[in-house]
Amino acid sequence: MKKKIVVVGNGMVGYKFCEKLISKDVSKSFDLVVFGEESRPAYDRVHLSEYFAGKTADDLTMAPSSWYTENGITLYLSDPVVDIDKDEQTVRSHHGIVVNYDYLVLATGSAAFVPPIPGVEKDGVFVYRTIEDLDLMQAHAKTAKKGAVIGGGLLGLEAAKALLDLGLEETHVIEFAPRLMPRQIDEAGSKTLQTKLEALGLQIHLNKNTQEIVGNGIIEGMAFADGSKLEVDMLVISAGIKPRDEVAKIAGLEVGSRGGIIVNDKLQTSDPNIFAIGECALAHHMIYGLVAPGYEMAEVVATSIIGGEKEFKPFDMSTKLKLIGIDVASFGDAFIQEPNAQTIVFENTAKGVYKRINISNDGKYLLGGILVGDAEQYNMLLQNTKNKVLLPADPEDLMLGSRGGAESASSGVMALPDEALICSCEAVTKGNICHEIIENKVTTLDGIKKCTKAGTGCGGCVPMVKDLINETMKSQGVFVRNILCEHFDYTRQELFDLVKIKGYKTYNDVLDHLGRGDGCEVCKPAVASIIASLWNEMILERGNATVQDSNDRYLANIQKNGTYSVVPRIPGGEITPEKLIVIGQVAQKYNLYTKITGGQRIDLFGAHVSDLPDIWEELVNAGFESGHAYGKSLRTVKSCVGSTWCRFGVQDAVSFSIEVEERYRGLRSPHKLKSAVSGCTRECAEAQSKDFGIIATEKGWNLYVCGNGGVKPRHAELLATDIDSETCLKYIDRFLMFYIKTAEPLTRTAPWLDKMEGGINYLKSVVIDDALGMNSQFEQEMQFLVDAYKCEWKEVVNSPELRKRFTHFVNAPKMKDPYARFEPMREQIKAAEWK
């Protein structure tokens, strides 16, 4: 006989309970009946503000109605439970449906707390809680100009964001307390946040006590206790929440004096067959108004109904969130201060960053803290707090991160005790991970993820896990040699030399003679790149197509919905009107989204794989070549217009950039290569952020190397000054060959130089003074590659065999992937959002 569980409330936590129960109840011994008050199945209330930023109600839905049907759940919507009979074990709904239960789970959530201000009933006054509330706000906002929000807490600021998105001319935030987000951050943090919010167009009023909402039927303004007034025609009240405990009260369950259904550690109410979870429950004398503890409650109740043992422990309320694009985090005891603790504060008003950490008086432990504007250190700080890690001598290093120089060893992962929780999602300690590394020789991130589950939840601990693996191995005296992967016991540099000496031209040859097993997604593209760098043959021939990374295999960049983007080469960014027209016509014909890239080229997005050869046939016929945007190879050589037009230019930057681009086009390397040529010292082409950049001087060129944009921007270093064009190309030949031969896979030139002993001076001695005696070989090898260049796309277009591989369905070559979906945006298309 199946037992019946009735869930009252279909919000996020009620839904999560259903999901967890279904996954645990493998023997299908329970029937689930759910009553929801709203007309929609549960949706993501945390991201409600995105509703005005373009998300639809469907986007926010946790699971569609069909999910409930598929899992055998009976779902009654628009029908709240109005009565519970504890003795008969039945509930009665608003529409009169009576259902008996074995277990009852109350997940009724909370409602907005509306303070008793005269005038709250007027038109134009809203709460911010449900999609219906949002629809009402949206309708009213059409005629409104000035809006206000009462409440400067988390929800209030979310509501203010919603008003901004609705396009009101003025948005005011009214907070009773002297600071914003009073539960999470302190006054200095609030000031930083306020400055940033004001820059976004919000007007913030602190210490304001609203006394009356004025207007004749419709809101016209607000009057405050200090005598001031504010004209508004729209108001959102977001001053806090109150638990929905009405039905529990009617049923005679115990509730707290200030609301909330009282529950024990197992989340049972005063009737052991009735549970309460989420924002309606009063656990450990507190209402947990965040979704994470709500989900944990769902887990606890689902586990214990299924017969397991689990208790709800006081939940850590540390939070990190992005508020209108601004990082705000607080952790541990955020507010503790002298004389109970010492605080260290960092403030950068120019950047809008505020950080505070609280440490114990003996200087040993981190107790908590606040981060506004930059919360990158949140994870490490939270770990240090939770695990009571002994602090390093300069605790501010923890808060500010590495500021160059040697990182203090004691602030890293090795200082954590064995019981330190590294992955809080899966409850994995440092001891668990080190045990796997030392005893079971698991030394890869994937291996650790698999055997411990660490890093499989939110993923926030992954960098720490990686550090742990490396540091633990070093401490074991293991020489960490960067071998390619489990299939090759060689570094990339060793493999490069071996493949050259043996003359191997296919991946299978390399694997058969130098490796073991069947290869993988790490060694395949790395070896493919080595082969391409050595011989510069068509990368899709000789069975090498399937060892290329997807982008190289299809000679295009895979995008979000499985379609590809197409980038024709436009050397130096110079293009004729005729060619521009061709690009436009191709884009029109194949319905492609067009955008100018950062490298002065044009990217065409949304090409179906089966259209790629046809698209390229048209481009090749018009004189275009592959731009290699998909490859770990030379991308673009950007240029400014130079002395041909510019009144400041001292050299012809465009001509030289075209010469450079055409020399190195198609060159495969350990990572992508970017370059630029500027016609004078004003540097409009931004050459100093490139892997190799050239800047014109009165006498010739200055050559810079190893610059980088991207994640870790870095200025290029000056390699040579006032050299002529021929010398410049010679130096670039040598530099590039040296890089291609010695860099680790997927290492850009900047980190390659960082790891080089002797740095730029050593590089100069190799490239200019021929310290290795390799330069004539480097130049010969480069000339071989330059001479061997052919346009890959031209070869595909002219080969029926190769063209055949560009299909989505082998048994329906003309058919396109129906899952490749698009959405309209600004008169073009974009890829459909993924889940």
Partner 1 sequence: MIAEETITWHVACNIEDIPENGGACALIEGEQIAIYNFSRRGEWYATQNQCPHRQQMALSRGMIGSTGANNEPKVACPFHKKTFSLQTGECLSGDEYTIKTYPVKIADGQVYVGV
Residues that bind partner 1 (CB under 8 A): 446, 449-450, 453, 455-456, 486-487, 508, 517-521, 523-525, 543, 545-547, 549-551, 553-554, 558, 560-562, 805, 807-812, 815, 817, 819-820, 834-835
Q: Which three-class secondary structure state does DSSP give residue 564?
A: strand
- C-alpha 136/C-alpha 128 separation (Å) is 10
- Longest alpha-carbon distance in the chain: 97
- C-alpha 466/C-alpha 443 separation (Å) is 9
Find the shortest distance in angstroms from Cβ 807 to partner 1. Answer: 8
Kindly provide the residue ranges of all beta strands, DSSP E only, lying in 107-233, ordered along the sequence.
Answer: 110-112, 125-127, 146-150, 170-174, 202-205, 210-214, 221-224, 229-231
List the strands of the sheet with 202-205, edge to edge. Answer: 125-127, 234-237, 146-150, 170-174, 202-205
Find the shortest distance in angstroms from Cβ 467 to partner 1. Answer: 17
| Nearest one of 109, 105, 80, 79 to 18, comparing CA atoms | 105
- C-alpha 718/C-alpha 724 separation (Å) is 15
Residue nearer to partner 1 on the CB measure, 472 or 551: 551
Find the shortest distance in angstroms from Cβ 290 to partner 1. Answer: 24
Residue nearer to partner 1 on the CB measure, 153 or 455: 455
Find the shortest distance in angstroms from Cβ 520 to partner 1. Answer: 4
Distances (CA, A) of 1 to 29, 31, 74, 322, 386: 8, 10, 18, 48, 45
| Nearest one of 666, 642, 667 to 656, comparing CA atoms | 642
Cβ–Cβ under 8 Å, residues 342 and 363? yes
Cβ–Cβ under 8 Å, residues 709 and 750? no
Residue nearer to partner 1 on the CB measure, 163 or 547: 547
Find the shortest distance in angstroms from Cβ 675 to partner 1. Answer: 27
Cβ–Cβ under 8 Å, residues 484 and 511? no
Residue nearer to partner 1 on the CB measure, 819 or 826: 819
Residue nearer to partner 1 on the CB measure, 356 or 487: 487
Residue nearer to partner 1 on the CB measure, 86 or 505: 505
Find the shortest distance in angstroms from Cβ 756 to partner 1. Answer: 28
Directed axis angle between helix 445-452 and helix 462-475, to 10°? 110
- C-alpha 552/C-alpha 538 separation (Å) is 11
How far does CA 510 lie from the centroid of its chain? 37
Residue nearer to partner 1 on the CB measure, 761 or 811: 811
Alpha helices in 91-204 (DSSP H): 131-141, 154-165, 187-199
Q: Which three-class secondary structure state does DSSP give residue 716?
A: coil
Find the shortest distance in angstroms from Cβ 519 to partner 1. Answer: 4
Directed axis angle between helix 523-535 and helix 507-514, to 10°? 110
Residue nearer to partner 1 on the CB measure, 481 or 814: 814
How far does CA 787 lie from the centroid of its chain? 42
Find the shortest distance in angstroms from Cβ 628 to partner 1. Answer: 18
Find the shortest distance in angstroms from Cβ 834 to partner 1. Answer: 5
CA angle 397, 400, 404 (to 5 degrees): 75
Find the shortest distance in angstroms from Cβ 803 to partner 1. Answer: 13
For residue 772, count other CB atoms closer than 10 A to its CB.
13
Q: Which three-class secondary structure state does DSSP give residue 517?
A: coil
Q: Quick one: tokens of 507?
A: 């991946």
Residue nearer to partner 1 on the CB measure, 67 or 224: 67
Residue nearer to partner 1 on the CB measure, 21 or 155: 21
Find the shortest distance in angstroms from Cβ 817 to partner 1. Answer: 5
Residue nearer to partner 1 on the CB measure, 450 or 715: 450
| Nearest one of 106, 135, 109, 177 to 48, comparing CA atoms | 135
What DSSP designation does 485 have? B
Cβ–Cβ under 8 Å, residues 680 and 649? yes
C-alpha distance across the termini of the chain, in Å: 38
Find the shortest distance in angstroms from Cβ 488 to partner 1. Answer: 12
Residue nearer to partner 1 on the CB measure, 183 or 821: 821
Find the shortest distance in angstroms from Cβ 456 to partner 1. Answer: 5
Residue nearer to partner 1 on the CB measure, 57 or 520: 520
Distances (CA, A) of 601 to 586, 592, 662, 672, 797: 15, 15, 15, 16, 22
CA angle 412, 413, 418 (to 5 degrees): 140
Beta strands 30-35 and 73-76 are parallel
List the strands of the sheet with 30-35, edge to edge. Answer: 73-76, 30-35, 3-8, 103-106, 274-276
Directed axis angle between helix 430-438 and helix 445-452, to 10°? 120
Residue nearer to partner 1 on the CB measure, 688 or 807: 807
Return the residue matching tokens 């058969």: 512
Residue nearer to partner 1 on the CB measure, 390 or 445: 445
Classify residue 832 as left (phi > 0), alpha (psi -120 to 50) or beta. beta
Residue nearer to partner 1 on the CB measure, 374 or 611: 611
Find the shortest distance in angstroms from Cβ 10 to partner 1. Answer: 25
- C-alpha 790/C-alpha 792 separation (Å) is 6
Find the shortest distance in angstroms from Cβ 612 to partner 1. Answer: 13
Residue nearer to partner 1 on the CB measure, 474 or 516: 516
Find the shortest distance in angstroms from Cβ 631 to partner 1. Answer: 15
**What is the helix (H) or strand (E) element at residue 596, kind and residue range?**
strand 593-596
Find the shortest distance in angstroms from Cβ 543 to partner 1. Answer: 6
Strand partners, 332: 368
